Amino acid sequence: MIELKQVTKQYGQAAVLKNITLSIDEPGIYCLLGRNGAGKTTLLKSIAGYQNITDGTIKVDGKAITTSTLDTGVSYIENFAKHFNLPVQKLLRIASEVNPSYDYDFASEMMERFELDGKKKFNHLSLGMKTMVSTMICLASNKEVILLDEPVLGFDAIMRVEFYDMLAESFQKHPRIIIVSTHIIEEIAKTIQKLIIIDKGSVRFFDTLQSVETKAFSISGLQKDVEAATQNLNIIGQDTVGGLVTSYIFDNPPKETAFLEVHPLSLQDFFIQMVGYKGGIRR
Amino acid sequence: MKAILAIAKRLIASDKISFIITALVVLCATSSGDVVLSNGNYTWLLAVLSPFFFVFYDFKKFIHLGASKRDYFFGCLISYGILAFCVSLVNTVIHLLVDPAYSARTVINLMDVCKWMENGIIAAGLQQMFFLLLVMIFLHVLLSMQTHWYGWLTDALLAAIICIFTPIAPLRAVLAGFFQMIMVNGNAVLHICICLLLSAALSLGGIVVLKRKTL
């Protein structure tokens, strides 16, 4: 269980995380979405105890997390994580030795599935393969909280599909909290259970993917018709093209009429509306 | 414990550069004149180099492998113990077997300079080992602090102590007394106890520093 209470992180005068309160109680695969600079990495690093927060508290399984926590029970992997320049097989074995809960069989199986040459040294791997090795080590650690910071960066399309399968398998084998931050939204949708959207250091959305599917809609039509239909609904964005208005809602959709077009929002469109920016201009 | 030992093993195995530099210096160093320095003295170089790699090169890698900070720290302490033992053993062997080969010249080995040989070869080896352990832990803590303001402050303080204490006679006596206590000490039991106590105190300081370490 992860519990964040009024978490604020400042770098000098700049607040990267602003008063975040969030509770992740159940095991599941959570997707952390946010624009570049939204505070995703800072949030994940703070939960992992890699850095201290300026204000508030972070608890993982009831244990307060700061840099002082010598054993956090959290496994975090970042892009371009450095490892010993050893053959991949040896690296995985060492990871199993230094981490008592490590699932070596899972890591070996994944190594074979991704056709990683176990004899190849880490520094000789491509960027995608390096990231894959780091991700495998992180998932095989079997810690109660797994944090993957943009793990698919540098992956080709096939590797990404295999990665999502690996994620799902790992979770099935050992259900726990897995948070994945990514920019490739639609692809991960099949794998995740819950979505966290952060923007400018604040949590904008935290709910199930199902709620997005059942409540996120676009309603298009003439301005007066759209306004009438969305009067008491939760509008998250709006576009106007000529005399036509499109309102984006996160609510129970109104009934489709001859004057209104109601369409479910894709995850990506929902995300764009939630963070509410286009071309640097707030909508 | 298995994790700590695995970390210690990997720390020593990845310390190749320190081993190579030390071996090269020990094998290639030459002296001329009637008074020569024992090549065994240069084995101490390993004790100076290793903490640099453990702190700046290995820490992040172990954390990325899923090791805990606590296991990393105790792994470092065990590695320092093993390295101190090995360095002490090699220097003692050199002092016993190689130094007498320079029959016509006076050979200076730090084991003699520090008066450790007065207590016999085994006690001298142990004194050397615990002294080197202290040096390595001191360096580890000092280097771990370098990314923080208090690391720079400690550097400045140490430099200031040496600069101020050296030219002023009464203060120089205090400084000399301190080094006599931790290094040039003929009383084996007292020396080992002091080194162990200081090592323990520095280790506690090291944990405090580690707790503030960010990634």
Give this prediction's pTM.
0.87
The C-alpha atoms of residue B22 and residue B26 are separated, in whole angstroms, by 6
pLDDT in tens, A4-53: 999 999 998 899 999 999 999 999 999 999 988 889 999 999 999 999 99
Residue B199 CB: number of other CB atoms within 10 A?
Answer: 23
Chain A closest-CA separation from residue B68 CA (Å): 5
Backbone φ and ψ of A198, nearest 5°: -115, 145
pLDDT at B52 (0 to 100): 95
The values of phi and psi at residue B108, to 5°, are -100, 115
**pLDDT confidence bin for A183, thresholds 50/70/90:** confident
Give the SS3 label for residue A52.
Answer: coil
Question: Which residue stretches of chain B are H helix?
Answer: 2-13, 16-28, 44-53, 59-64, 69-93, 110-113, 121-144, 149-165, 169-182, 188-212
Outline where DSSP puts E strands in chain B. 35-37, 106-108
Per-residue confidence band for A280, with pLDDT thresholds at 50, 70 and 90? very low
ipTM of the complex: 0.84
| SS3 of residue B85 by DSSP | helix
Residues on chain B touching A51 (C-beta within 8 angstroms): 214-215
User: Which residues lie below 8 Å from residue B9, measured CB to CB, with a gap of 6+?
Assistant: none
Contact (CB<8Å) A72/B68: yes
- pLDDT tens readout for residues B164-200: 988 888 889 999 999 999 998 889 999 999 999 999 9
Which residue in B15, B64, B69 has the most chain A C-beta atoms within 10 A of its own C-beta, making it the best mutation to test that interface?
A: B64
Pick from A51, A67, A77: CB nearest B64: A77
Position B105 pLDDT exceeds 80: no
Phi, psi of A199 (to 5 degrees): -145, 130
The single-letter code of the amino acid at A270 is F
A157/A54 Cα distance (integer angstroms):
39
Q: Per-residue confidence at B104, pLDDT binned at 50, 70, 90?
A: low
pLDDT digits (tens, 9 = 90+) for B77-103: 999 999 999 999 999 999 999 888 877
Task: Calculate the average pLDDT of chain B.
Answer: 92
Domains of chain A: 2-200 (3.40.50.300), 211-282 (3.30.70)
B 30-69 near A (Cβ less than 8 A): 60-62, 64-69
Cβ pair A138:B215 closer than 8 A: no
Closest in A68, A84, A94 to B211, CB measured: A68
pLDDT at A282 over 70: no
Full DSSP string of A62-102? TEE-STT-S--SEEEE-TT----SSBHHHHHHHHHHH-TT-
| CA gap A33, A269 in Å, rounded | 12
CB contact under 8 A, B2 and A84: no
Return d(Cα B198, Cα B192) in angstroms, integer.
10
* Nearest-Cα residue of chain B relative to residue A53: B214
CA B74 to chain A, closest CA, distance in angstroms equals 11
In DSSP terms, which residues pair with A23 in a beta bridge? A3
